[in-house]
Amino acid sequence: MITATRQVPHATPTKSADHTRIRLLIHGGAGAILREKLALDREQAHRRALTDSLHAGHTVLAAGGSSIDAVIAAIVTMEDSPLFNAGKGSVFNHEGRNEMDASIMDGDSRMAGAVAGVTTVRNPIRAAHAVMTQSKHVLLIGAGAERFATEQGLEISDPGYFYTQHRWKQLQQAIASEQIMLDHDADAESAASDNHEKHGTVGAVALDCFGNLAAGTSTGGLTNKRYGRIGDSPIIGAGTYADNRSVAVSATGVGEMFIRTAAAFHTAAQVRLLGTPIDQAAAHTLTEIAAIGGEGGLIVLDPQGRYAMRFSTGGMYRGTIGYDGIAWTGIFTDN
């Protein structure tokens, strides 16, 4: 009698620490983010939030922490910010609830964890990590995933915690216009503040001083979504992938297209199988997505610290930080 699957790390040679190679990349969603439509205070707020996330991850890496812990620290910071469509600030589904998804993967062991359709876990990325480390499984969904997170002692929040007024207005607008809206798409009323926001999924990829990669992604999905719709964020291979033999990837965009093209894994596969430079690999993945009518962005990082932040949309909230601790943030095509 064989018990269920166990995530078996493969043997890892002991690696020496090199604190100069640490690197973290983050994204806070891609979309039609245009400089002329983004109010300066909104731009500054987003840049501050991205910078906070970069510093949170950098603190972990600089102290010799693992890439997994850096990814968690960076993503938790964005989940806790109301500016992004993940954790607090998640969009509302048709029933007026926040239904969140997240995934995480360790590039050394290729262990992975994910949750989908959770409504009360304050930090879905922590739940994904608990699935990876404390269960034999990779993907848990719905009430079962919440029960697991609760049993693991993760912080459970009242639904009111996730509420933000502008997401609620977006839902009412969407219901009125019978549209399923992408992430935090604009509505007519709040166009000035929201028109720049799309695909507000957050993600991070990190390289630690031991040369290990990790990737993670977290999202609130689509405004007014129904029927338990799940996008690419909790899907290992679509929204998230990490493999020390190639790259770590986190994606954001039209989730369905990223699933159909196995976007994160495809990016890694090009690097591993063909030796494609990572920027070209990311660009080709976006070309594949465009061929079926999709758009979005990717952050990609390899074990040498080379990285790419590619998007086919007007802009992507993004940033990176390395050994020197100087946070770089970008939003538009020209930064």
* Closest CB 44 distance from a copy of itself, rounded Å: 25
Give the strand order in the sheet containing 248-253: 240-242, 248-253, 296-301, 307-311
Which residue reads 């999905």 in tokens?
221
CA distance 53 to 128: 18
* Closest CB 287 distance from a copy of itself, rounded Å: 12
Query: What is the phi/psi pair of residue 293, to 5°?
Result: 95, 15
* Closest CB 253 distance from a copy of itself, rounded Å: 9
Structure-token pair, residue 210: 């031991």
User: Which of the stretches 83-91, 210-218, 221-229, 303-311 binds a copy of itself when contact is defined by CB under 8 A?
Assistant: 221-229
Strands 139-141 and 112-118 come out as parallel
User: Which of the stretches 79-87, 202-210, 292-300, 317-325 binds a copy of itself when contact is defined by CB under 8 A?
Assistant: 292-300
Query: What is the phi/psi pair of residue 146, to 5°?
Result: -70, -40
Using CB under 8 A as the binding rule, whether residue 187 contacts a copy of itself is answered as: yes
Using CB under 8 A as the binding rule, whether residue 175 contacts a copy of itself is answered as: no
Distances (CA, A) of 50 to 42, 62, 226, 322: 12, 18, 30, 14
* Closest CB 238 distance from a copy of itself, rounded Å: 6
- Catalytic entry in 77, 119, 201, 223: 201
Structure-token pair, residue 313: 């949309």
Residues in contact with a copy of itself, counted by CB under 8 A, come to a total of 72
Which residue reads 């050394």 in tokens?
108
Using CB under 8 A as the binding rule, whether residue 316 contacts a copy of itself is answered as: no
101 CB-side CA count, 13 A: 26
Q: Residue 73 or residue 281: which is nearer to a copy of itself going by CB?
A: 281
Give catalytic status of residue 201 as yes or no.
yes
- Positions in 22-61 near a copy of itself (CB under 8 A): 32
**H-run or E-run covering 145:** helix 142-151
User: Which of the stretches 58-66, 180-188, 203-211, 302-310 binds a copy of itself when contact is defined by CB under 8 A?
Assistant: 180-188
Q: Using CB under 8 A as the criterion, what x/- string covers residues 110-149 for binding a copy of itself?
A: xxx---xx-----------------xxxxxxxxxxx-xx-
Q: Which residues are catalytic?
A: 201
